[in-house]
Structure formats: structure tokens, C-alpha cells
Structure 1
Amino acid sequence: MAAAITRETRILGAPLVLFLLALLGFPTILNLVYSVSDVGFETLRAPRLEGLGNFQQVLADPSFWNSLWFSLRFGAVTAALE
């Protein structure tokens, strides 16, 4: 009896699992593709792969580091005061 319930549960739960995989997986994969591409409004449908250049550019930007440290300090102070 327990095996039948497990099988039935899997069969009934499969559409939900597939839906959640599509709902979460597609945007995640698209985000990863866009993060290593040169994407603009003109090239949204056919992005040119850039590699890790986008990440190198961000890591070399002093504004990124200032924003990161400010956010970390703000989060730490907020958590400590709460």
C-alpha cells in the first residue's frame, strides 16, 4: 500500500516539479547567459558572448567595492541593532 501511495504521489507531483523547474530554471540559465554576454536593447535577441569580461570590469570598478563595503557594513549594523 505504501508503494502505491508513493507512486501516486510522484505521478501527481511531477507536473508541479516540472513547472517549478521551468519557472526557476529558465530565468536562471538566461541570467547566466546574459552575464557572460554583451547585451543591450539592440542585441537582446542575439547577444554576443563576451566571456568573463563583464565580471572583470565590475571587479575593477572602485564604485562596486565602495557599494559592497557600504552594504556589508549597513547589514552588519542593522543586524546588530535588531
Structure 2
Amino acid sequence: MGAVFKSTKKYTGFKWFSVFAVYKIVSISLIVFSFTYYGNHGLGDESRIPLGHGEAMEESDQFAYFVPKGKSEQIHVDTYFKRR
């Protein structure tokens, strides 16, 4: 396998190190972004959209809800289903 990389570099001038360095920089940047305020969208199956001042719209399965600060009740948001 190493001979293939060396021969590719010898004939094309292509450097695999630069490709891996770019992938590493991009992946680290995305991980850092995911933990910022704007990247705080939830992990896993539940999504979260930050609204500001610590408030957020959250979604689990097909139901969107909003939990105000200091309240224990959820406010259900009818955005996915139409009532007839």
C-alpha cells in the first residue's frame, strides 16, 4: 500500500499528507462549531433550535415543543400536522 502512495507522489506530485491535514482541520472545526451557540442543535435523534436568551425550540420524533424558562410544562407547537 505504501508503494502505491509513493509511486503516486513520484509521478503526479500529489501529497497525501496535505489531504489528511485538510480533513483533520475540517473535522476539528466542525466539532468545535457544534459546541458553540450557533451549532447547539442537539445531538442524536432530537433536534434543538436555539432562539436566544437560553430559550429553544425542541423536536422529538414528529412533535415540536417549546419549554419556557422556569416552567415544567411543554407548549406543543402544531407545525407538522394539519387539522381538518
* TM-score, structure 1 normalization: 0.35
Report the structure number with the largest CA radius of gyration: 2
Bigger share in strand = 2
Q: Bigger relative contact order, structure 1 or 2, given CA contacts below 8 A and separation 6+?
A: 1
* TM-score, structure 2 normalization: 0.34
